[in-house]
Amino acid sequence: MPIRVDFSALALFLAYTFTVGTATAGTPVAGTAAADQRGPSAPDMSPETPVAVIGKTRVSYSELLSAANQKLAQKEAEHDTRVRQLQITYERARHEVLDSQMKALVNQRVLDLEAQSKKTTPERLLASLPEPTVSDTEVRQFYEQHEDQVQESFEKLQARIRDYLLEGKSKTANEGYYAGLRAKYAAEVVLEPLRASVASQGPSRGSEDAPVTIVEFADFQCPYCRKLEPVLAEALKRNPDGVRLVYRHYPLIDIHPQAMQAAQAAACADRQGRFWDMHDALFSPGAELTVESLRATAAHIGLDSQKFEECVRGLQGDGVIQQDMLEATALAVDGTPAMFVNGRFVSGAVSLETLTSLIDDELRRKKSSLVSAAATASAR
């Protein structure tokens, strides 16, 4: 299971620690906040201002700018990208807070209504819910399923596994209880989710007219992308006409040295109309991503070997890959897998239950909007 660090919380903690450790309590440092907000500034110089002297010859500021123009433009583009990414990250975090608080608020309201109807208190209602249990068999099965990811013995881990499974069951039970209350009291969340504009171009599975489109940015060497594949397959199976999946490349070349060549192989397979055959082969258990293995896979799925070689050697699929990577960067995607479900950002290898819940919510919203549109039209 991947471990994710909450860098925003860490940054706040470090900022607090630094402030407490370097400033006297109750004594503000004059001008510090304003200076920090302004940041460093470049000197104000006219184009004719000399910046260097070589003998009797002066080098002007305009000459310096002209020589540095290309590199400055690159730095400005990098700066603009980072600013956009920070803004997107902030908007996601802000909406996550609003969404979480909205759910908590609605849950508390329906719990209060249920308590009133039962002539009791919300606390007693929650205390009356049955306590979940975890069997020894479940603990053992969980350990065996993840044995290759841990270094400690079952005896050392079984208590922690039991606590983890109990926590998961309690959370599921509570969510089910609140879902029942929301249905009973006709509570409906109408807060519009945060959506990004994502091009749904690329190889796809599912109906072109599906009401739900999942755009996945993935890396063929990413273990969590491989873990997500059966979840996506099952979601498509359950919603053959309701969900469309679009694959887009995001090879993390800094940490996955074989990711780019695998992406190139898949892009070249797509040029022969066999992307998904290559995709499934590369994500299959035990698949190798060496150049020799990729050639063997291409032959196995029936690609024209000569055309495949020409495509790979000629980097003919790189344009698509680079375009996908650029869009992923612009969308502040910082890891794989990353999905956009009708534009709603989902990070990591989520469970089938999580993805199903999101798909169902989108289908409900689509149906509700259609009904509302029909009612508006009939009233005219």
State mean pLDDT over 320-345: 96
| 217 beta partners | 248, 338
Going from the C-alpha of 276 to that of each of 162, 174, 268, 272, the distances in angstroms are 39, 39, 12, 11
Pairing of strands 57-60, 243-249: unpaired
Task: Return the percentage of the chain with pLDDT > 70, whole number.
Answer: 87
For residue 352, the model assigns a pLDDT of 95
Query: Is pLDDT at 154 greater than 50 in this prediction?
Result: yes
For residue 380, the model assigns a pLDDT of 64
For residue 135, the model assigns a pLDDT of 95
Domains of the chain in start order, with CATH, are 95-184 (no CATH), 204-369 (3.40.30.10)
Cβ neighbours, 10 Å, residue 318: 17
For residue 30, the model assigns a pLDDT of 41
Among the listed residues 325, 217, 331, 316, the one whose alpha carbon sits nearest the alpha carbon of residue 271: 316
Task: Return the percentage of the chain with pLDDT > 90, whole number.
Answer: 80
Structure tokens at 200: 């749904």
Among the listed residues 247, 253, 102, 114, the one whose alpha carbon sits nearest the alpha carbon of residue 189: 102
pTM: 0.77
The answer to whether the Cα torsion of 331, 336, 341, 342 is positive or negative is positive
- DSSP assigned state of 192: P
Query: Is pLDDT at 12 greater than 60 in this prediction?
Result: no
For residue 10, the model assigns a pLDDT of 34
For residue 377, the model assigns a pLDDT of 62
CA distance 219 to 2: 16
State mean pLDDT over 148-156: 87
